[in-house]
Structures are given as C-alpha cells and as structure tokens.
Amino acid sequence: MLRDFLSAFQMSLLPCRFTDEKVSLDAKGRINTTHIPRSAFLQFGLKDDRPVKPDAVTFLITPSKLDLRRVLAGAEVGQLSCELKRYSTDGSHVRWPVKGEHEYNRWFTVTISHTKKLFKIMAFIRQSTDQPPTGEDDFKSWAVIKDKEVLTTSVSMMMQTQTPVVNSTLKFQPKLHCQFEVDHKSPKVILEWRKHHRRKALFSSQLPSGQGQGSGVSLEQLRTGDASYTTAPTETSSEGTYLCNVDVHPLLGSLSVELQIQEPPHVSLNVDSTLTLSEDEVKRVVCEANGYYPLDVDIHWAHRGSTEVGPQVDTAQLSSHSTHRNGTYRLSAFFHLQAKLGKSGRKFTCSVSHRALAAPIRKTFTIIVTEPGQWILIFNVFLLVVVVVLGLRYCLRVRRRRFF
C-alpha cells in the first residue's frame, strides 16, 4: 500500500478507478452500454518498465512535455481521487502531431480531484498504436483490455482548475480558474465558457487567431494557457455550474466550477440593549435576520439570569420567509415578554446561524422591571428636583440685585 504522506512530486504510483465499457446492440439496433468498474493504477515511469502492481491494469505514463505530477505537487496521495475512462473521438481520426509515434491512437481520460476540493485536473492520455480504426465509431469496437495488461501512454493535453468550488457574496466579481496545456506548439484551440443548461456561451475564442465573443477572459493570458473567467457582478441568479471547455481536435475537454452565492444576514432587534418595563407590562420583542442567501437560516432566543444559563424561549415564534427583489431573504423570530419583578436583570439573547457566517451573530438585551407605582414616585422626585433648582436660581438672582 502507498503511504498517505507520500507527496505527489515523489509519486510513482496512483490508484485509480477505471470505468471500462462494453457496448452491444439490441434487436432493434439500439446501443446498450455497460459500465464495468475495474481496479487500475497510474504508474509514472519509462517505456518497458515492469508494473508495480502486476495483478491490476496499469496505465504506464511515460515522459512528455506535460508533467502530470508537477500539478499534483504538494498533495498527499491519500487526498487524491482518480478516475480513468475511455474516450471516443466519434469516428474522427487525426494523427496527433508528435514525432516518432504510430499513425493511430487510443484515447483515455484521467480525472484527479483533491478530496478537500483544492483542485481538479483532467488529462487526455494517449496510447499510440499501429492498428488502424475499424471505420466505425470507436466506442462500438473498443479494443479489449485484459486484467493484467500494461498500457504504455503519455499525456497529450491537460486541464486544471484550482477553484472547483467558489464562494462569493453579492455584487462581487470572482475569478473562476481554468488552465490548459497541450504537448505540441501552436495548437488550434477553441475555448468556451458557458453556464450549465444555458445555450448561449458566456465567452468563446479561437487560438491562435484570438477571435472571439464575450468578455471575462484576458486574451493575453489566454495565449499562455490561462483561460480563467471573471464573472459579472454577482446576483443570486449567478449561482450554478460553470463549464470551461477546451477543444483541440479531436479532443474536447471540460472542467466544471461550482459558484455558490453566500450573503450573510444583517441581524437587528426592535429594542435597545436595556429594556425597562413596569411589572405585568407586555412587550413584543423581535429579532430579524435580513438580506441573507441562501434560504437556510437558524434563529433562536435564549435567556439567562445573573449567573445561570437558562433554556430557549419556548414561546418564540418564527415568521414566514419573505423574499426581496434581489433574491435574498428575511426572517424574524419574536415572542411576547411579560415583565415580572423576578425577571429583572435577566438577559435575552437572539442567535442567528447561517452558512455565510463563520460564527453565529448574537444580539442581547437586558430587562429591567419596575413596580407599578414606581414611575409615579420617580416622576414626583424629578418634579421636586426641578422645583428646588428653579427656586435656588431665583433666590440667587434676587440677592445679586440687592447687593449691587
């Protein structure tokens, strides 16, 4: 077994899940495809190297201008998920422009993902062969791969994204990373960015001419293989799957980038930090979370005395969700607080949790409860103080006039 701490730049072997295909035709001439999971390994080495795992299918990756291990540098083998599949060129035969190779090719794709979603890589690996195609769609007559077979291949085209998942707030312009490399000079490339389930492309361009439509991709950077796309200022409708498609005939590679909109809520109370009520007075207290996205939010009220922490406020109720024009939401939690002298000094806290928040937002107020007649006493004392102050000021003025 490989040790998980083995770094990618030292890697010589990577376990993969190889999904093989068996194609057949039914009585009506319809194509039936059976997917067969098989154990396989990517082995990095030289031509004619013996397989490290002789009991499994080995895809021997020999040196080319593209080094797959370079883009995996720093990752641990245990953090990588690898998938291998056959690739059909739909009957299109093109001699790959690399010297010293056979006329014909068999194609496979390898997709390597980081389990923590730090990157995703798609590569086309090519098995050079002197066997001509059968003249029909290649997927109808796949060459049989035996259980312990070693397939000598090389990397011909590679795509990668370092942003498989992007989180963005509203009115921001995140960059969706996409980069590609081809193993020969001046390839004819068609690049396209589109949103999943949308017909119209967001951006398209052809290389080396640079002709294209749309915006969001730097043509200067594109010529170096950097096809990263900067979105328009985000709205809630911007959320979804974006596809970076690279066409180098007969290969068409695609990487997906998931854009998630996360707007944190603004939290407010309808009372100040100190709420003064007379005994038996009832106050409707509201905690509101406003302007958040996506929908899921958690609001709850709790109370505590001077020392002990109390339970949640059982009588708290939630309003129904309301939606703003920009697609964000609003929700409130409220309860009716009846003032009792025994509750004076008690603190009530509203906690709001949402995926856009690193920690819950908490808003607290303290209730002060006075006796029913206490307000009259306070008013009378206040009135008396005012009368005394005014009387003293009057006496001082009279004395000054007599003195002068």
Per residue in 50-75, pLDDT (tens digit) is 999 999 999 999 999 999 998 888 88
pTM: 0.82
Lowest-pLDDT range, 140-144, 333-337, 356-360?
140-144
Checking if the pLDDT of 261 tops 90, the result is yes
Give the Å distances, CA to CA, from 145 to 36, 40, 45, 161, 378. 12, 11, 20, 31, 94
CA angle 74, 118, 294 (to 5 degrees): 165
Lowest-pLDDT range, 78-82, 141-145, 206-210, 256-260?
141-145
Average pLDDT, rounded, for the chain: 88
What band does 263 get if pLDDT is binned at 50, 70 and 90?
Answer: very high
What band does 229 get if pLDDT is binned at 50, 70 and 90?
Answer: very high
Question: Based on C-alpha coordinates, what's the Rg of the chain?
Answer: 35
- The one-character DSSP state at 381 is H
Collect all residues with Cβ–Cβ distance below 8 Å to 277 and sequence separation of at least 6. Answer: 283, 337, 339, 367, 368, 369, 370
Query: From CA 156, how far away is CA 119, in angstroms rounded?
Result: 20
CA-based nearest residue to 180, from 251, 230, 253:
253
- Looking at residue 402, its pLDDT comes to 56
- The one-character DSSP state at 7 is B
- Looking at residue 404, its pLDDT comes to 52
CA-based nearest residue to 36, from 133, 145, 148, 151:
145
- Looking at residue 348, its pLDDT comes to 94
Checking if the pLDDT of 41 tops 90, the result is yes
More confident call, 376 vs 233: 233
- Looking at residue 138, its pLDDT comes to 74
pLDDT tens digits, 155-212? 999 999 999 999 999 999 999 999 999 999 889 999 999 999 888 999 999 998 888 8
% the chain with pLDDT above 90: 66
Query: From CA 92, how far away is CA 31, in angstroms rounded?
Result: 19
pLDDT tens digits, 275-303? 999 988 999 999 999 999 999 999 999 98
Query: Amino acid identity of 382?
Result: F
What band does 4 get if pLDDT is binned at 50, 70 and 90?
Answer: very low
Collect all residues with Cβ–Cβ distance below 8 Å to 219 and sequence separation of at least 6. Answer: 205, 210, 212
CA-based nearest residue to 183, from 61, 60, 65, 44:
65
Checking if the pLDDT of 100 tops 70, the result is no
More confident call, 177 vs 4: 177
Copy the structure tokens of residue 150.
């070693």
What band does 375 get if pLDDT is binned at 50, 70 and 90?
Answer: low
Please identify which residue in the block is written with the tokens 């009057």: 394
- Concatenated DSSP letters for 65-117? S--HHHHTTT-BGGGEEEEEEEE--TT-----S-TT--SEEEEEEEEEEETTS
Query: From CA 241, how far away is CA 176, in angstroms rounded?
Result: 11
Element (H, E) at 219: helix 219-222
More confident call, 316 vs 134: 316
What band does 8 get if pLDDT is binned at 50, 70 and 90?
Answer: very low
Query: From CA 179, how far away is CA 189, in angstroms rounded?
Result: 13
Q: Please state the φ and ψ torsions of residue 238, each to the nearest 5 degrees.
A: -75, -20
